[in-house]
Amino acid sequence: MIMKRKLVKQGMNALTITLPSEWIKRKNLKPGDEVEMFESEESLNISTEKKLQAKEITVDASGLIPRLADRFLARSYQKGYDKITVKFDSSEIEMAIKNKIPELMGYEVLNTTKNSMDVQIISTNLDLDFDTLLRRAFFLLMEMAETCHDAWKNADNKSLENIFYKDYDVNRFLYFCLRKLNTSHEMASFGRSILYYLIETLEDLGDELKALGKILAECKVDKDILLIIKKMNELLRMSYEFFYEPKKKKAVDAFLLAKETQKLIDECLGKKNKDMTKALIALEVSMRIISHLTTMRLDTLKELSGEKR
């Protein structure tokens, strides 16, 4: 609902507005209570610290395949539900839900019956920092990409197989970041929709690097593909640096490196065996995802913002 308010002069420099009476009643506010204000580029959001009613949902996952039940639970967590009662009709779905819980920070199974399960957040105010977890996810993704290069080069198949566990932590951190974006105004100034999509993209990258590690663990080293992986690592590091310190030169360098690496992939496609082709496809998808990390944040460049300096 859009409402308009006139600004009223208060003292020498301050301007005030009135808050809607219905909103005040709904939030049970009274004189002296504090509200929080979050400033974004073109708006000012006002919220109350008063504890809101827990968000609960009851769903019937019967008939779903385990993978879809898994994804549904992750989405419900990201959307900010505090309690989910899931009904199911098979032990496979029950196990898929139970196996997903450890990836959802703060969630625990509190009650289980023959055909249902109560999943609930054990703390509605987890003492976790959004930026710290996002940076940690970036670091883990870079470690996964570096492992694909270094472990494969050194025939360290065990490390390649263990990439799976790093992706598990990437999911935990990024799922929490998505939940935070959906339940808090703190990141409003950062470009919420773009940031949400970028985090989803990072999760996809983790899946591709996990798949790449599994493929490489079963293949002998190929110097052409090893070079492509090295270039991918450089691009991922460059994209990470641009994300936190946007510079025009970094954006240009990242674009040129992506084009160079794609050319190397194109030259190899059709010339390698089946397993190497699978690796090349995983690399191509990973490269496209990494390239988006820079292009999605071009709006952070002061030279392109349209603002007068």
Q: For residue 64, tell me if it sits in a domain.
A: yes
Is 59 in a helix, a strand, or coil? Answer: strand
Beta bridge partners of 266: none
Q: For residue 309, tell me if it sits in a domain.
A: no
Query: What mean pLDDT do residues 138-162 have?
Result: 96
| Of the residues 121, 143, 170, the one at which a domain ends | 121
Same-domain status, 205 and 175: yes
| Of the residues 100, 121, 142, the one at which a domain ends | 121
Give the pLDDT score at 309.
42
Same-domain status, 80 and 205: no
Percent of all residues in the chain with a pLDDT value above 90, rounded to a whole number: 60
Same-domain status, 300 and 166: yes
Same-domain status, 34 and 69: no
Same-domain status, 137 and 229: yes
**CA–CA gap between residue 187 and residue 204 (Å, rounded):** 22
Same-domain status, 74 and 100: yes
Query: What mean pLDDT do residues 279-305 have?
Result: 80
pLDDT digits (tens, 9 = 90+) for 23-42: 777 777 788 777 776 665 55
Q: For residue 2, tell me if it sits in a domain.
A: no
Same-domain status, 139 and 183: yes
Of 201, 189, 163, 294, the C-alpha closest to 240 is 294
Q: For residue 3, tell me if it sits in a domain.
A: no
Which CATH number belongs to the domain containing residue 248 in this structure?
A: 1.20.58.220
Same-domain status, 252 and 226: yes
Beta bridge partners of 39: 44
Same-domain status, 146 and 244: yes
| Of the residues 71, 98, 121, the one at which a domain ends | 121
On whether the CB atoms of residues 144 and 138 are closer than 8 A, the answer is no
Same-domain status, 220 and 260: yes
pLDDT digits (tens, 9 = 90+) for 71-127: 999 999 999 899 999 999 999 999 999 999 999 998 999 889 999 999 998 865 566
Q: For residue 175, tell me if it sits in a domain.
A: yes
**CA–CA gap between residue 75 and residue 81 (Å, rounded):** 9
Helices (H), 38-191: 66-78, 91-100, 130-153, 157-161, 163-183
Q: For residue 1, tell me if it sits in a domain.
A: no
Q: How many domains does the chain have?
A: 3
pLDDT digits (tens, 9 = 90+) for 40-72: 555 667 776 544 456 889 999 999 999 999 999
Same-domain status, 286 and 162: yes
Give the pLDDT score at 298.
65
**CA–CA gap between residue 94 and residue 109 (Å, rounded):** 11
Range of the domain at 78: 56-121
Q: Tokens 């009135």 — which residue?
A: 18
Q: For residue 65, tell me if it sits in a domain.
A: yes
Same-domain status, 142 and 284: yes
Angle 240-166-235 from CA coordinates, rounded to 5°:
25
Half-sphere exposure of 12 (CA within 13 A, CB side): 0
